[in-house]
């Protein structure tokens, strides 16, 4: 049910493989509840243009395999359903927007929770099938499927709730959070609900001898033949790009570091263009350091209120401050619902993202690993992510550049 660890350097799950697939045929457009928006004829004033890269991204999500993989991820899907039911008092009788609705499953969960109206928005052709799903479940009087970008479609009323499964690998890959921010700024009422409400990206140093041996040491002796001449190429092929795979807590060498905390009620699109953090780790064991792992979690909390006189002990660490801005405090901190992709938690289709070194570093217990990581939206394609990693340990400094594409 869950994706297994990749045996190569790529991160081509169904989400990625579908981008190489064929475009799905268009279904009938005669449904009243389906409003198809021709993106190239929309006025683009003060809105991000739809690029060829965006169109390719939207076309990839017309492939059913992507949605099948996500829906079969029970950790993901059941957590979202539980979040909707936990917040039923905010949803029943209210207006909801589902950003990137896909097959419409979250929109249907909201309708089942008593929403008065749900706008299910998706720029991919999967919206056509979502509309058929809505009709088959007799929900056309509640769910309105809008086929178009959030930046382009029109909703002629303010909404009470925004829900979206926007998280990509390493949290920010694919840059879909920008669409949630756009929906928030266009339609969300003051005091409205956003699910999930916040997200946190983590990193930690890892050791993974089996992975390194399987990809690199294999070439030292192939059926009795010395193929060590392949080692340099093998390292490049295996570790040049980020790798999405499943590791366990046993691979983690230290407590994690917070790379970025995101408050979905206040984050801006510009804030996501570049994320930089300095880190310092102390290895908890003697082991080879093979790279760094990244993972995230998201929380589903009620509408937030500004934090003012709360004790510091109830706050997140200073790493969570965003440009010095004031964070928001959840109403019921003891009832937070969390969707985690951490190595020690049940696996999800996001797995973990690993940045491997070409050569491991032998660590002693308590040895310091420090440095800097910068995540930047690619100028070529904002849905790609450039990763700049500087790290120092044992008196030696290194730089690793990679692109998640």
pLDDT band at 318 (very low <50, low <70, confident <90, very high): very low
pLDDT at 323: 36
Q: What is the pTM of this model?
A: 0.83
Told to judge if 165 belongs to the known catalytic residues of this protein, a careful annotator would answer yes
Q: What is the pLDDT of residues 21-47, one digit of tens each?
A: 333 333 333 444 455 444 334 434 457
β partners of residue 245: 352
- DSSP annotation of 322 reads B
Q: Say what the pLDDT of residue 334 is.
A: 57
**Residues 6+ away with beta carbon under 8 Å from 224:** none
Q: How far apart are CA 35 and CA 128, in angstroms?
A: 10
**What pLDDT was estimated at residue 21?**
36
Helix (H, G, I), strand (E, B) or coil at 306: strand
Per-residue pLDDT band at 302 (split at 50, 70, 90): confident
Confidence of residue 175 (pLDDT cuts 50, 70, 90): confident
- Rounded distance between C-alpha atoms, residue 219 and residue 376, angstroms: 34
Q: What is the CA radius of gyration of the chain?
A: 22
Residue 42, pLDDT score? 40
> Quick check: 75 pLDDT over 50?
yes
In 3D space, the residue among 199, 32, 188, 193 whose CA is nearest the CA of residue 113 turns out to be: 193
Provide the pLDDT for residue 364.
Answer: 97
**pLDDT of 227 above 50:** yes
Report phi then psi at 273, rounded to 5.
-65, -35
Mean pLDDT of 155-159: 98
What token pair was written down for 35?
A: 């409003």
Residue 314 has pLDDT above 90, yes or no: no
More confident site: 14 or 115: 115
Segment 128-149 shows an average pLDDT of: 98
* For the chain, percent of residues with pLDDT exceeding 70: 81
321 pLDDT above the threshold of 80: no
**Active-site pick, 165, 241, 245, 299:** 165
Helices (H), 166-294: 177-187, 209-215, 231-239
Average pLDDT over residues 265-273: 97
Residue 164 has which token pair? 């979206």
pLDDT value of position 89: 97
Please report the sign of the dihedral spanned by the C-alpha atoms of residue 177, residue 179, residue 181, residue 184: negative
- Better pLDDT: 109 or 312: 109
Q: Among the residues of 216-338, which ranges form H helices?
A: 231-239
pLDDT tens digits, one per residue of 235-267: 999 999 999 999 999 999 999 999 999 999 999
Q: Over the chain, what is the mean pLDDT?
A: 86
Sign of the Cα torsion 221, 222, 224, 227 reads negative
The yes-or-no answer on residue 174 being catalytic is: yes
CB 175 within 8 A of CB 207: no
| Contacts with 314 (C-beta within 8 Å, 6 or more apart), sequence order | 329, 333
Angle separating helix axes 126-136 and 64-72, nearest 10 degrees: 60
pLDDT at 32: 40
Contacts of 91 (CB under 8 A, 6+ apart): 84, 110, 113, 114, 115, 160, 161, 193
Predicted pLDDT at 336: 85
Residue pLDDT, tens place only, 335-373: 689 999 999 999 999 999 999 999 999 999 999 999 999
Could you say which of 151, 174, 245, 299 is catalytic? 174
- Could you give the CA distance from residue 332 to residue 146 in angstroms, rounded to a whole number? 34
- Spell out the domains of the chain, with CATH numbers in brackets: 53-165 (3.40.50.150), 198-304+335-404 (2.70.160.11)
CB 293 within 8 A of CB 245: no
| Residue 226 scores a pLDDT above 50 | yes
């Amino acid at each position: 049910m869950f994706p297994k660890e990749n045996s190569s350097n790529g991160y081509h799950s169904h989400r990625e493989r579908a981008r190489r697939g064929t475009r799905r045929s268009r279904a009938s457009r005669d449904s009243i509840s389906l409003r198809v928006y021709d993106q190239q004829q929309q006025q683009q004033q003060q809105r991000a243009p739809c690029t060829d890269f965006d169109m390719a991204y939207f076309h990839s999500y017309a492939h059913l395999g992507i949605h099948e993989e996500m829906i079969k991820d029970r950790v993901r899907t059941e957590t979202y359903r539980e979040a909707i039911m936990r917040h039923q008092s905010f949803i029943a009788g209210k207006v909801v927007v589902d950003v990137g609705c896909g097959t419409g499953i979250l929109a249907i969960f909201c309708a089942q929770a008593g929403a008065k109206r749900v706008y299910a928005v998706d720029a991919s052709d999967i919206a056509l099938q979502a509309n058929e799903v809505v009709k088959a479940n007799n929900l056309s009087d509640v769910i309105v499927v809008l086929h178009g970008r959030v930046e382009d479609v029109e909703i002629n009323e303010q909404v009470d709730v925004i829900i979206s499964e926007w998280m990509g690998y390493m949290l920010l890959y694919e840059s879909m959070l920008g669409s949630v921010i756009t929906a928030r700024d266009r339609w969300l009422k003051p005091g409205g609900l956003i699910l999930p409400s916040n997200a946190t990206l983590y990193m930690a140093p890892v050791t993974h001898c089996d992975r390194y041996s399987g990809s690199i040491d294999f070439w030292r002796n192939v059926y009795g033949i010395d193929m060590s001449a392949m080692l340099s190429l093998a390292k490049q092929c295996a570790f040049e790009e980020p790798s999405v795979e499943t590791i366990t807590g046993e691979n983690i060498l230290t407590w994690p570091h917070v790379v970025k905390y995101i408050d979905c009620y206040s984050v801006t699109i510009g804030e996501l263009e570049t994320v930089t953090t300095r880190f310092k780790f102390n290895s908890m064991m003697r082991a080879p350091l093979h790279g760094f792992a990244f993972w995230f979690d998201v929380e589903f909390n009620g509408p937030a209120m500004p934090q003012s006189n709360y004790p510091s002990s109830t706050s997140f660490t200073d790493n969570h401050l965003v440009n010095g801005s004031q964070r928001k405090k959840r109403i019921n901190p003891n009832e937070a619902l969390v969707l985690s992709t951490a190595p020690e938690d049940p696996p999800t289709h996001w797995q973990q993202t690993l940045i491997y070194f070409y050569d491991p570093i032998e660590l002693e217990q308590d040895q310091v690993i420090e440095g800097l990581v910068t995540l930047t939206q690619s100028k070529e394609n904002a849905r790609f992510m450039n990763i700049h990693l500087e790290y120092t340990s044992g008196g030696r400094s290194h730089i690793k550049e990679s692109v998640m594409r």
